[in-house]
Structure 1
Amino acid sequence: MVKYRVFEVAKEYNTSSKVILDILNRNNIEVKNHMSSIDENVKKIISRTF
């Protein structure tokens, strides 16, 4: 399974890591900071927001 860093996903969507962290926290997904790894399923949750 592919892993992504929060800051890489933020760059992909032209937004800040803070916005991505807020989206994840609203969906009860625990991440500590912009260097945290997320998987494809979590990335799909983010993509639904954009």
Structure 2
Amino acid sequence: MLRWTIIFIILALVAGVLGFGGIAAGAAGIAKVLFFIFIVLFILSLIRGKKV
């Protein structure tokens, strides 16, 4: 999932440089959502993986 986040960030940067504002905003929004989902899943896996 982190790979998809990086891909959408790169897509947003390239689209922004080329002047496609709508596409850049959409790709950045998708990257942001995927990043937060990744963080939540990562924290949950850390919590569930701990053996207390």
Q: TM-score higher than 0.5 here?
A: no
Task: Please report the TM-score for the alignment, with normalisation by the length of structure 1.
Answer: 0.28
Task: Please report the TM-score for the alignment, with normalisation by the length of structure 2.
Answer: 0.27
| Structure (1 or 2) with the greater strand fraction | 1
* Bigger relative contact order, structure 1 or 2 (CA pairs below 8 A, ≥6 apart): 1
| Structure (1 or 2) with the greater helix fraction | 2
